Structure 1
Amino acid sequence: MCRRDVRELGKSNMLLASTEEEINKVNAPQLSQRLVLLLAVACGLSVANLYYVQPVLADIGREFAVSVNQVGVLATLSQLGYALGLLLIIPLGDRYNRRALIVTMLVAVTVALIAMALAPTLVLLSIASFIVGVTTVVPQLIVPLAASLARPQERGRVVGTVMSGLLIGVLLARTASGVLSAHLGWRAVYWIAAGLMVLLALVLRFLLPPDRPQSDMSYTQLLRSLWSLVKSEPVLRETSVYGALGFAAFSAFWATLSFRLQTPPFHYGSEVAGLFGLVGVVGALAASFIGRLADKVNPRKTIGIGLLILLASFGIFWLMGQYLWGLIIGVILLDLGAQANQISNQARVYSLNPAARSRLNTIYMVSYFIGGSFGSFLGTYGWGFAGWFGVCGVGLLLLLLALAVYVLNSRRTQAASR
């Protein structure tokens, strides 16, 4: 980043951020409980587009007569597309009116979902899956908007509530997709999703409050400033590692669950794979509590707890994954740990720089979904190489690596404070 850009970044932040308290005085009256609920529902409905594919991978594989590894690339491509969309689109949330940007992206994802429903070949389906990922960025425009509207003392609770809606959307997307695919076929899932996006665009256009831009930087300057933020914010770097590795393990499980349930001793179809999303809602409902906890204690501690819960879930999958009740217990812990990790990471990220929340969120979430796409790939590879134990081994290794980084950074922090 050149010196001129650094000066522009500094002037922009000083001019437009002023103080976080002033921003919240202007915005706080707009954040009613009804609006928080609307934002949570919007996050859930829009993020679901990214996850409809996971329970129906086996059905798609049968239609196109391809192997597990070939059809598994659809989940990987959608998450890579999401990471690219986060990188290229989300920084605009600091520069433009986020309400207009949200509505525009909902229209774009509607077109991509229709392409998924119509795709006649696996190649075209893969391209459409990638584009769905690129355009499914609305949740990551909504979460920083909610954080900006919230008062500092309630930010963890608000972000936790909105993220609860997001995670419930992730989980129920699998349930809806599995059930609809079993009765109407997997293509119907995408037609219905497209209709929901049109409806959501209309609702948000009229009910979301307009917000003011936080920066007057050009698009090029916004993108260049991302690297400057990475270099200057050690907390951002640390949380990005925990988010990426935790979500990689989470994705390795969900990308392969439908394959596991179709093999002995289960022999279940996409409908049962989707119903596992309902089980995970138990963990998702803890998001609001975790958000409140992050307001009161150091959120880094709850990150460590979340990683340990994730590790325990994969231990249960390894030891008791041959029983349905073992999978159910593991899924509850998996989603609880994932939620604790995610909410706590974002609470730390949003506390850093109020004038750069969209860009901070961009960096964190790009890392997060690169980790998710990597986890999906490793999960399907582990399944092809060693079946269910291969998937469990992938999850355990990823989480042990995350905990090793956590312990190492804890020791460095303690040493620096002496």
Structure 2
Amino acid sequence: MFGSLCALVFFVNFGRVAFAPLYGPFMAEFGVNRATVGVTASLVWLGSALPRIPTGYLLTRVARHRVVLATGGFLTGASAFTALAATIEMVFVGGFLIGISSGAYFIAANPLISELFPERVGRVIGVHGTAMQLAAVGAPVTVGALLGVTDWRTVFWLLAAVAGVTTLALFATTRRADLPEAGAADRNLVRAVRRQWRLVFAGIAILGVTTLVWNGFWNFYTLYAVEAKGLTSGTANLLLTGMFAAGVPAFWFAGRLADRVAYVPLLLAVLAGFVVCLFALTYASGLLAVTVATLATGAVVHCLFPTIDTFLLDSLPDADRSSAYSAYSAGMMTMQAAGGTVVGVLSTDLPYDLVFRLLAVALGALVVALVVAYRADLLPEGAAETPT
């Protein structure tokens, strides 16, 4: 069953990241500008944010594996709809629907995985995240190869086909699996969020602003590398692939490291590292320097995701896990969704390097605030106790 989940998360994430390499074809076919295609990215991630609390509520009534199966079916339909888009507005809707399928998937699948393997949460979250990251690595190359022989619509037709087959395979494996009952007590979303609000808020504060910056950065990385760093489009796409590829070992390593060291100091260290790498990239010039800074940025930021998921899912008690996690995830993803629009609008009037430096300054201020809060014992290092 875990293998089928890893396969499905690959295609769920592929759908989210496939839009960035298609900005050029979208602008050419529909006659729109960068700010408009930036809205496409924001709608994908907004769609990924909005269903998270409703899915958390649904999980208080429906088994986690059934919700996961439903998200696979939804991804299949949303991908087919996008392939049929006749206007940029239909692309907006298709991206939003693909985002919805991904958001619901992660809220159902991540608690399920942590409950399937309660003794090694970090390790399995890292492996699951590695499968997700492989999609991010493969998307620019796959999309680029397809665009060389066909049009952008084929990307979504193929995604619909493989998502449907994978969902059917997962359905077959769940019928034979011994499913956990750890989430049986998680039946009141509001009560769980009120009980664990400090941990939920801390997760949003740490990851929300960070992923807003990260989302805007990687969605515009190809255009940034071409226009600000003077690289060719082919080289820029290769570096985007490399940046995501650096996240593959990062997910694997960080998941295991999170099982061994204190969560909060690790999170703050990774966050500070991302700020340093982003600043360094804006000052880098020449292919070698840009390549090194790009790969370092990708490796560091991807350490953050399995670490914070392990922190939350391992800390939250059975009775609160999916509900509190859904609230955290919804808040974080809502902030993240604005990244594409923020960078698209700012880069219309300002140089890319200046835009990313300003965002890095804002993120650096957050790091300082979090360190002060941690030293003052204001950041929670675990969940609140659940009454028995």
Residue aligning to 1:6: none
Query: Which stretches in structure 2 are left out of the alignment for 5+ residues?
Result: 382-388
The structure whose residues are more often helix, as a share, is: 1
Residue aligning to 1:98: 64
Query: Which stretches in structure 1 are left out of the alignment for 5+ residues?
Result: 1-34
Kept after mapping to 1: 8 A contact 2:38/2:344: yes
Instruction: Calculate the TM-score normalised by the size of structure 1.
Output: 0.82
> Out of 283, 304, 312, which is 1:349 matched to?
312
Residue aligning to 2:224: 260
Kept after mapping to 2: 8 A contact 1:102/1:141: yes
Pair 1:247 & 2:211 matched: yes
Deviation at 1:414, TM superposition (A): 8.0
Residue aligning to 1:329: 292
User: What amino acid does structure 1 have at the position aligned with 2:183?
Assistant: Q
Range that drifts further, 392-401 or 112-121: 392-401
User: What amino acid does structure 1 have at the position aligned with 2:346?
Assistant: G
> What SS is found at the alignment partner of 1:56?
helix
User: After superposition, where does 1:263-274 map in structure 2 within 5 Å?
Assistant: 263=227, 266=230, 268-269=232-233, 272-273=236-237
Q: What CA deviation, in whole Å up to 9, does each residue of 1:135-156 have, x standing for no partner?
A: 223233222111011133x111
Q: What CA deviation, in whole Å up to 9, does each residue of 1:322-359 have, x standing for no partner?
A: 43333322332222222222222112211122222222
Q: What CA deviation, in whole Å up to 9, does each residue of 1:105-147 have, x standing for no partner?
A: 2111211111111110111221221122112232332221110
The 3 A distance-change label for structure 1 pair 128 and 394 is farther
> Out of 260, 263, 282, which is 2:246 matched to?
282
Kept after mapping to 2: 8 A contact 1:68/1:380: yes
The 3 A distance-change label for structure 1 pair 357 and 181 is farther
Partner Cα separation in structure 1 for residue 209 and residue 324 of structure 2: 18
Kept after mapping to 2: 8 A contact 1:107/1:198: yes
Pair 1:204 & 2:170 matched: yes
Kept after mapping to 2: 8 A contact 1:54/1:255: yes
The 3 A distance-change label for structure 1 pair 39 and 330 is farther
Q: What CA deviation, in whole Å up to 9, does each residue of 1:150-186 have, x standing for no partner?
A: 133x111121221222223233223322332343221
Pair 1:148 & 2:115 matched: yes
Range that drifts further, 298-307 or 405-414: 405-414
Partner Cα separation in structure 1 for residue 380 and residue 347 of structure 2: 43
Kept after mapping to 2: 8 A contact 1:55/1:274: no
User: After superposition, where does 1:47-196 map in structure 2 within 5 Å?
Assistant: 47-136=13-102, 137-152=104-119, 154-196=120-162
Q: What CA deviation, in whole Å up to 9, does each residue of 1:78-109 have, x standing for no partner?
A: 11111002222244234312222111121112
Partner Cα separation in structure 1 for residue 158 and residue 279 of structure 2: 37
User: What amino acid does structure 2 have at the position aligned with 1:330?
Assistant: A
The 3 A distance-change label for structure 1 pair 381 and 168 is same
Deviation at 1:254, TM superposition (A): 1.0
Residue aligning to 1:294: 258
Deviation at 1:55, TM superposition (A): 1.4
Partner Cα separation in structure 1 for residue 38 and residue 231 of structure 2: 19
User: Identity across aligned pairs (percent)?
Assistant: 18
Partner Cα separation in structure 2 for residue 401 and residue 339 of structure 1: 20
Kept after mapping to 2: 8 A contact 1:303/1:344: yes
Partner Cα separation in structure 2 for residue 416 and residue 276 of structure 1: 35
> What SS is found at the alignment partner of 1:355?
coil
User: What amino acid does structure 2 have at the position aligned with 1:142?
Assistant: A
Q: What CA deviation, in whole Å up to 9, does each residue of 1:296-315 have, x standing for no partner?
A: 11011111121122112211
User: What amino acid does structure 2 have at the position aligned with 1:334?
Assistant: T
Deviation at 1:408, TM superposition (A): 2.0
Residue aligning to 2:183: 214
User: What amino acid does structure 1 have at the position aligned with 2:280?
Assistant: I
The 3 A distance-change label for structure 1 pair 97 and 414 is closer
Partner Cα separation in structure 2 for residue 292 and residue 306 of structure 1: 15
Residue aligning to 1:32: none
Kept after mapping to 1: 8 A contact 2:199/2:380: no
RMSD of aligned residue pairs (Cα, Å): 2.6
Deviation at 1:59, TM superposition (A): 1.7
Kept after mapping to 1: 8 A contact 2:55/2:107: no
Partner Cα separation in structure 1 for residue 206 and residue 300 of structure 2: 12
